[in-house]
Structure 1
Amino acid sequence: MSPDRRRAVGAMVMMAGAAGAAHVGRPTVKLADRLGGIDLERAFPARFADWQIDPTIPVLLPAADVQAKLDAIYNQVLSRSYVSARGERVMLSVAYGGDQSDGMSIHLPEVCYPAQGFELRDKQAGELQLAGRRLPIHRLTTALGARIEQVTYWITIGEAVAPSRSRQKLIQIGYGLRGLIPDGMLVRISSIDRDASQAFQMQARFAQDLAAAIPDALAPRVLGRRGN
């Protein structure tokens, strides 16, 4: 057996053992109750740096069937359009669920966009430096007819960033072993632009400005803990 295969098998065994232990002591305490509730309207400011809400741009809502699925997963969804002093426009969507136990997993944009008729043209992993953190993120290029939408997003489970489904599961198991049911958050930033490089640079700047404006007490739940 190759070294890579041994490591993969070892990781699977650890996850299976941890999952079994978690099942024996099924968590009952919600992390959200211990840390306190989140009000997305207050956590994400309407104005920061040179950005402010743009009331002239309507926010596109998902199809009714997709919205029903989102309502079953999330307690709160925040959708806004922002404009900078230079006239740059970006859309922010934040979805928060207080229960990220089995069967209540966050709905990934690469699933949500195609469900609304978008073509997923590209997906890449990346990193952003936000508020003293090295944050793993995903970037998507999507298309709906002539509309090209570039997307940056990240996910937190509890106070940890979860760049993959396997990492989400490990974080969930870790909280479960402590008797806790973690909450979860999806932060999605997008803009209409055929130039992916230009769009992602602008989105990175928006994310940096936004991260600096998030209240310190809430930053770990939006951005993960430093060094996590």
Structure 2
Amino acid sequence: MGRGTAVITGASSGIGAATARRLAAEGYDVIAAARRVERLEQLAAGTPGIRPFALDVTSAESVAAFGAEFGEQDVAVLVNNAGGALGVDPVESADPADWQRMYETNVLGVLRVTQALLPALERGAGGHVLVTGSIAGHVVYEGGGGYTAAKHAASAVVQTLRLELNGRPVRVTEIAPGMVRTEEFSLVRLGGDKTAADRVYAGVAEPLTADDIADCVAFAATRPAHVNIDLLVVKPLAQAAPHKIDRR
């Protein structure tokens, strides 16, 4: 018996793609949404139970079209995963355009998609909103001002939404990963500099993988309906904090 429909944003790579595969394996009918449709089609071709759909969470028009397509359905799970980091500049020299782009994806993207699908999440037995946050949403570090500001804001959205939906059949969860090695996160953050991106993980025996985070999402989503995981913080054993990492 299927578990219902699960919508995942930012599903074209990394944590989003891994989560799409995992929730499909758990019995969900997965709507994998992202801008790069060709990547989604490849994902869907390799995994039964996944349907690709074009979505840009920074575009009100794109989200409105997405809501028109799925907002009248019964959605069991929404994973707001679209996001990311840009740059490692200090506050005094950071590019405000990078900050704005991070806020658009990590915060306003969550707002837009959640608003569009909330009616669908309240139908039937109720639904579950999950947000891929970060330990950067709870701890700051030098060179991370724009990203930590955006992820702190995303965490605030999650906590506020949970309060506002109290008494309604929608669970709200933040998954907050620490160091996760994916094919794109650090590469995008560092402007395509592969050497610098590899340096982020240098000496770390086992950073988390996208599958590790997908496992956390699946755990939270498959708890009984009366059980809400508010916040799940997950880091590799080698990482005690953003600034405290065992590099062998």
Q: When the two structures are superposed, what TM-score results if normalisation uses the length of structure 1?
A: 0.30
Higher strand share: 1
Q: When the two structures are superposed, what TM-score results if normalisation uses the length of structure 2?
A: 0.29
Q: Highest CA radius of gyration, 1 or 2?
A: 1
